[in-house]
Amino acid sequence: MDGKKRIYDEKEITKRNGLKMLLLSIIGLALSIGIMVYGIYIAADRKAVWGSLPITVGAIGMIVFCIFFAGLKAVDPNEALVLTLFGDYYGTIKREGYYWVNPFVSAVNPTYKSALEAVTVAVSGPQPKAPSESVQTALGRKISLKTMTLNNEKQKVNDSLGNPIIVGSIVIWKVVNPTKAVFEVDNFMTFLSIQCDSAMRNIARLYPYDDMQEEDTETEKTLRGSSQEVADELKNDLQKRVEAAGIEIIDVRITTLAYAPEIAASMLQRQQATAIIAARKKIVEGAVGMVEMALNQLSEDGIVMLDEERKAAMVSNLLVVLCGNKDAQPVVNSGSIY
């Protein structure tokens, strides 16, 4: 229970005493070398029986001050070091500077080993299936606190109607608690990628790809028509999933959204049919307006007086001309219309 508490209660190391300890180590090492040389010099005189004491003191001093050099740690801006001492949490360095810590501490970065393995495979064998920025940012024991990008690979998921779709996303994120990122999960980069896949499946199944109804299209959210709302929900869901790993999700955007190949052709036909019906509806509405305008104009100007039967025939002819796919063939009537 105490160990769990130490992990959550991050202990930050802020004392920047690296330059002082560097100077002290250099002076101590120089003095140790001088004492050792002096002991060797007086030991050469057989009458000096105590010459071995300075040699021993100088050798011990050299070993001690050489060990002191191992405690010097340099941290760049937006980087952190999580340190352990013989398996126990020692502290975290989160601010840039030159520090001196216990020489026996070791920095922990769970992505370091996986990054080296990925580089080894890339050099000696096939390229990894999904290389990420961990190969570039995790080649050391330090934890990067910079804003990073996860380009999540395309994956096949089902929408709320059960249609298979292809979705890809991009995640902008950063580590805000390096202690949690190191101790709470095995590999925080792999953990983030897996949780992103899970969150994408969870959100995609709540919405249809597109509105299949012809009416009230604005009342239902869809993956295609409500991309901002879907991205916000995806961000909130992903943030809850990675909270324990000390990761902050800055932004999430859907980069790829399409029907799966097995239904893409059918859905394309449906979209084309919808477009044709909408176009026909517009044409009919315009044709009816033009016919109405023509009848009113003829009646108001008194050009010709038509009975109901002739009006019906005229309306039929005008609608055929205006709504037809091909140009109408003119027919000249040389006789009387009555």
CATH number for position 215: 3.30.479.30
275: pLDDT strictly greater than 80 = no
Select the more confidently predicted residue: 221 or 109. Answer: 109
Query: Sign (positive/negative) of CA torsion 270, 274, 276, 280?
Result: positive
Percent over 90 (pLDDT), the chain = 18
What pLDDT sits at residue 121?
A: 38
Does residue 60 share a domain with residue 103? yes
Same domain, 55 and 159: no
- Indicate if 39 and 81 belong to the same structural domain: yes
- Based on the fold, state whether residues 222 and 284 are members of the same structural domain: no
Q: Is 121 contained in some domain?
A: no
**Of 259, 294, 309, the domain-final residue:** 259
How many C-beta atoms surround the C-beta of residue 208 within 10 A? 20
pLDDT for res 266: 64
Q: Does residue 117 form part of some domain?
A: no
Look at residue 274 in the predicted model and tell me its pLDDT: 67
Domain span at 45:
2-107
pLDDT of residue 221: 79
Residue 289: the pLDDT is 79
Among the three residues 239, 259, 279, which one is the final residue of a domain in this structure? 259
Return the bridge partners of 107, or none: 83
**Residue 57 falls within a domain, yes or no?**
yes
pLDDT of amino acid 130? 42
Share the mean pLDDT of the chain.
77
User: So what's the pLDDT on residue 132?
Assistant: 45
Looking at the predicted structure, is the pLDDT value of residue 249 above 90?
yes
> Residue 6 is which amino acid?
R
Give the highest mean pLDDT range of 43-52, 102-111, 151-160: 102-111
Boundary residue ending a domain (221, 237, 259) = 259
Q: Is residue 295 part of a domain?
A: yes
- Return the ∠ at Cα 119 (arms to 149 and 98), rounded to 5°: 70
Confidence of residue 127 (pLDDT cuts 50, 70, 90): very low
Question: What was the pLDDT predicted at 131?
Answer: 40
pLDDT higher than 50, residue 279: yes
In a domain, 72, yes or no: yes
70, 94: one domain: yes
Model confidence at 248, pLDDT cuts 50, 70, 90, reads: very high
Is the distance from CB of 75 to CB of 16 less than 8 angstroms?
no
CA distances from 5 to 2, 102, 291 (A): 5, 22, 82
The dihedral built from the CA positions of residue 84, 88, 92 and 93, taken in this order, carries a sign that is negative
Under the banding of pLDDT at 50, 70 and 90, the label for residue 122 is very low
With bands split at pLDDT 50, 70 and 90, how would you rate the model's confidence at 241? very high
pLDDT of 29 higher than 70: yes
User: How many CB atoms within 10 Å of residue 123?
Assistant: 7
Same domain, 149 and 245: yes
Q: Which of 53-57, 274-278, 329-333 has the lowest mean pLDDT?
A: 329-333
What average pLDDT score do residues 322-337 get? 60
Q: How far apart are CA 179 and CA 90, in angstroms?
A: 11
| 159 in the same domain as 255 | yes
pLDDT of residue 114 exceeding 70, the answer is no
pLDDT of 172 reads 93
Which stretch of 12-16, 91-95, 200-204, 320-324 has the lowest confidence by average pLDDT?
320-324
* pTM for the model: 0.66
The pLDDT score that the predictor gives to residue 208 is 84
**pLDDT on residue 238:** 92
Indicate the range of 2-6, 188-192, 246-250 predicted with least confidence. 2-6
pLDDT at residue 337 tops 70: no
Q: How many domains does the chain divide into?
A: 3
- Is the residue at 162 inside a domain? yes
Same domain, 235 and 281: no
- Whether 13 is in a domain gets the answer yes
In angstroms, the CA 67 to CA 75 distance is 20
Residues 174 and 237 in one domain: yes
Whether residue 266 lies inside any domain: the answer is no
At position 111, the amino acid (one-letter code) is: T
Q: Does residue 95 sit in the same domain as residue 171? A: no
Alpha-carbon distance of 34 to 67, in angstroms, equals: 18
When pLDDT is averaged across residues 188-198 and rounded to a whole number, the result is 90
Same domain? For 199 and 284 the reply is no
Same domain, 83 and 173: no
